Chains A and B, each alone.
Chain A
Amino acid sequence: MQRLQEKLAACIQRGDKAMGLFMTSGFPDPESTLPVLREMDRGGADFIELGMPFSDPLAEGLPIQRSSERALQAGVRMKDTFRTAAAFCAESNTPLLLMGYANPIHQYGIAAFCRDARNAGIEGFILADVPLEEHLPFAGEAAASGLGLVHLIAPNTPDERIREIDRATTAFVYAVSITGLTGSGLGAIEHVETYLKRARSMVRTHPLLAGFGIRTHEDAVRLSRHTDGFIVGSALIEKVETLWNHESKPPKTHYEEIRRFVRALKNGDKGAEEENP
């Protein structure tokens, strides 16, 4: 968890907004996940969330649903996710988190999961269907393994509960920007900003990052005015999906395009052009 904390602290100190990027393990296919993660890293990700595919991802919109289904159809299992994670962590210092749902972890065994995650070099995890009410067994094992457990808040979360979540979370507070699924539109941006301002005033202990519905650099700039950073998932998944559906083009250009897409998310169109390896 320390690498993630240090990374976020460094971003905050520099006055930069941290960029977290989500990618489903096993997507677009089991062999390509690792090279995709590399490009996300080179493109400027401050941390990466590796999605653990689940058969019933009930907080996801269509792009991430499709990516999970595709990964599962390709036979991706938890041990493959750990293998990909370990390979990534061996070659990069960029913090890696796992994101997913409670059941695969429960089935793996929470303690065994935390142990294997730590051994792979993972910093922590985020579970979309484990609220404060149910987090203790997960938080206990995570802490015992030195892993973080990131909690989410939503626009309809009451003030006092946001404060409670700030106390319970480790690493950062994940502000879901809308009442909706991943990949939804942001809707009326003033509402999102009002909510993030409110959240900012409640979240005093941990960094605050906004995610869900962020598709462009402009969205990111606008939302992270009130937060320490932002997280992009569905837009990147869609980018990868489109690239890999173009069988005719060689994968090499796919990877370049991913890097450019990620750079543009972070720096705008200007940044996307600058190739500084």
Chain B
Amino acid sequence: MEKTHPLPDERGHFGLYGGVFVPETLIPAVEELRKAYEAARKNPAFRQELDTMLTDYAGRPTPLTFCKRLTTTLGGPKIYLKREDLCHTGAHKINNTIGQILLARRMGKTRIIAETGAGQHGVATATVCARFGLHCIVYMGEEDVERQHLNVLRMRLLGADVRPVSSGSRTLKDATNEAIRDWVTNVRDTFYIIGSVVGPHPYPMMVRDFHRVIGDETRRQLREMEGRSAPDAVVACVGGGSNAIGLFYAFLKDPNVQLYGVEAAGEGLNGRHAATLTQGSPGILHGAMSYLLQDEDGQVQLAHSISAGLDYPGVGPEHAWLRDTGRVHYASATDAEAIEGVKLLSKTEGIIPALETAHAIGWLPEGIRGMAHNEVVVVNCSGRGDKDMGTIAKHL
């Protein structure tokens, strides 16, 4: 896998961000992982194994869909959707869990742990564990266990041990704390499948590499459909930032492609929200330096979003760097705008997006203002909305 920009450096830094802020007990584990991944990414057999499983099992390549009625409704540029919602299990998350499970097998790890917010990463992890007959434990905040109950049922059916987390925020942040504590305790036989481009090095780099297939496919598909591989703008929602970086990565080097990451503005930026890059400041959480929602004393604040997958006070370190360099524009959409996004895409295209994805859709009417009819926008449709029907129903 060649790199399109030379980051992170050897110690996992994207400029000021990233690194390995973990207890000493985890150092041998991240070191072992770093070496194993370094070897795997250069190994054609691993690449082959990964590609085969992405094709035969996950259903890649996913389509690039031109949205004729959405384009007409919004009256601006041509809008395409990259259909990660059509991946097996219903979101982009499986690209990463396939990569990590193949690595875990190579490393001889038998016990798999994961954290999950929306449950999509938990389901994607439970799925690949079932596929390979590996023991799977998923940590999930109690609040998320409630609002994403369908995914809890799916995980249990897939054989995973779902452990509700009652500490702190009772959402993704504390599920991640609990997964890290498990890892510290069972470090010798356990592989931690992190669900986004967060955590200590090498996770942000590795998870990005496993998702870059999204952008790479988009370039090829766009060339066939539009006669050019680079669109004018690319849009994705940002929780930890994995679906966004997966799509952005192929376009970072193209200065003419505008990149937009949409965070969750929750009840509004003056109220409770999860707009880390827009409103946060640099800090250290879950193994890396990045942007963080925190108070003056460096205590991490509770995030809020209607979408469990964006309800996180941190963000991947590469996004922090892309924010500071100005390469990516980070915007936000409120809970209400996300609900509008769900309705809009459902009614115009017959596609019910996940609430996370709906933030990118909800931002579009505002975000594409001023763009010309012949311009092209690609939006990452990171997941489907079945899991959110309970929440969505309350707002219809």
Chain A residues proximal to chain B, CB less than 8 Å: 54-56, 58-59, 61, 65, 69, 72, 77-78, 101-108, 128-131, 133-134, 151-158, 161, 165, 176, 179-181, 184
Tell me whether B344 is interfacial, beta carbon within 8 Å.
no
Chain B nearest CB, measured from A153 CB (Å):
6
- Kindly state the interface size class of chain B when it binds its partner: 35 or more
Q: Are A65 and B24 in contact (CB under 8 A)?
A: no
Q: Which of A56, A65, A133 has the most CB of B within 10 A?
A: A56
Chain B, 178-192, CB within 8 A of any chain A CB? 180-181, 184-188
Q: Are A176 and B19 in contact (CB under 8 A)?
A: no
Chain B, 261-295, CB within 8 A of any chain A CB? 282-287, 289, 292, 294
Question: Which residues of chain A are near B292, meaning CB under 8 Å?
Answer: 103
Question: Which residues of chain B are near A179, meaning CB under 8 Å?
Answer: 25, 184-188
| Other contacts beyond A107-B297, A154-B24, A179-B185: 15, CB < 8 A | A55-B299, A55-B300, A58-B177, A58-B286, A69-B168, A72-B299, A78-B298, A103-B298, A106-B298, A128-B23, A130-B21, A134-B21, A156-B187, A165-B24, A184-B185
Contact of A58 among B11, B181, B296 (CB under 8 A): B181
Chain A nearest CB, measured from B320 CB (Å):
14
Cα of A130 to Cα of B20 in the assembled complex, Å = 8
Chain A nearest CB, measured from B126 CB (Å):
23
Question: Which residues of chain A are near B294, meaning CB under 8 Å?
Answer: 103, 107
0/1 interface trace, chain B 160-189, chain A, CB 8 Å (1 if under): 000000011000011001001100111110
Question: Which residues of chain B are near A55, meaning CB under 8 Å?
Answer: 168, 299-300
Q: Are A58 and B297 in contact (CB under 8 A)?
A: no
Cα of A69 to Cα of B294 in the assembled complex, Å = 16
Cα of A101 to Cα of B294 in the assembled complex, Å = 14
Cross-chain pairs A/B with CB under 8 angstroms, 13 sampled: A55-B300, A56-B177, A78-B298, A103-B284, A131-B21, A133-B11, A134-B19, A151-B24, A155-B25, A156-B187, A156-B188, A157-B28, A179-B187
Chain B nearest CB, measured from A68 CB (Å):
10
Tell me whether B222 is interfacial, beta carbon within 8 Å.
no
Q: Are B285 and A56 in contact (CB under 8 A)?
A: yes
Question: Which residues of chain A are near B289, meaning CB under 8 Å?
Answer: 106
Q: Are A181 and B185 in contact (CB under 8 A)?
A: yes
Chain B nearest CB, measured from A51 CB (Å):
14
Tell me whether B22 is interfacial, beta carbon within 8 Å.
yes
Q: Are B298 and A107 in contact (CB under 8 A)?
A: yes
Q: Are A56 and B298 in contact (CB under 8 A)?
A: no
Cα of A184 to Cα of B185 in the assembled complex, Å = 9
Kindly report which residue of chain B lies nearest to residue A128, judged by CB atoms. B23
Tell me whether B27 is interfacial, beta carbon within 8 Å.
yes
Known: A56-B285, A156-B188. A104 touches B23 (CB 8 A): no
Chain A nearest CB, measured from B190 CB (Å):
10
Question: Which residues of chain B are near A56, meaning CB under 8 Å?
Answer: 168, 173-174, 177, 285-286, 300
Chain B nearest CB, measured from A154 CB (Å):
4
Cα of A270 to Cα of B286 in the assembled complex, Å = 44
Contact of B23 among A58, A61, A133, A184 (CB under 8 A): A58
Kindly report which residue of chain A lies nearest to residue B299, judged by CB atoms. A55
Question: Which residues of chain A are near B188, meaning CB under 8 Å?
Answer: 156, 179
Kindly report which residue of chain B lies nearest to residue A60, judged by CB atoms. B181
0/1 interface trace, chain B 9-29, chain A, CB 8 Å (1 if under): 001000000011111110110
Question: Which residues of chain A are near B285, meaning CB under 8 Å?
Answer: 56, 103
Q: Which of A131, A151, A153, A158 has the most CB of B within 10 A?
A: A131
Cα of A102 to Cα of B19 in the assembled complex, Å = 13
Q: Are A78 and B23 in contact (CB under 8 A)?
A: no
Q: Are B22 and A129 in contact (CB under 8 A)?
A: yes
Cα of A130 to Cα of B174 in the assembled complex, Å = 20
- The 3 A-B residue pairs whose C-beta atoms are closest, nearest first, are A107-B298, A104-B298, A154-B25
Question: Which residues of chain B are near A129, meaning CB under 8 Å?
Answer: 21-23, 284, 287
Contact of B297 among A78, A131, A165 (CB under 8 A): A78
Q: Are A181 and B21 in contact (CB under 8 A)?
A: no
Cα of A180 to Cα of B25 in the assembled complex, Å = 8
Q: Which of A58, A105, A106, A176 has the most CB of B within 10 A?
A: A58
Question: Which residues of chain B are near A180, meaning CB under 8 Å?
Answer: 25, 184-185
Kindly report which residue of chain B lies nearest to residue A53, judged by CB atoms. B299
Cα of A254 to Cα of B284 in the assembled complex, Å = 37
Question: Which residues of chain A are near B300, meaning CB under 8 Å?
Answer: 55-56, 103
Cα of A128 to Cα of B23 in the assembled complex, Å = 5
Question: Which residues of chain B are near A78, meaning CB under 8 Å?
Answer: 297-298
Chain B nearest CB, measured from A269 CB (Å):
31
0/1 interface trace, chain B 298-311, chain A, CB 8 Å (1 if under): 11100000000000
Question: Which residues of chain B are near A152, meaning CB under 8 Å?
Answer: 23-24
Q: Are A176 and B298 in contact (CB under 8 A)?
A: no
0/1 interface trace, chain B 246-263, chain A, CB 8 Å (1 if under): 000000000000000000
Kindly report which residue of chain A lies nearest to residue B32, judged by CB atoms. A156
Q: Are A102 and B284 in contact (CB under 8 A)?
A: yes
Chain A nearest CB, measured from B205 CB (Å):
15
Question: Which residues of chain B are near A154, meaning CB under 8 Å?
Answer: 23-25, 27
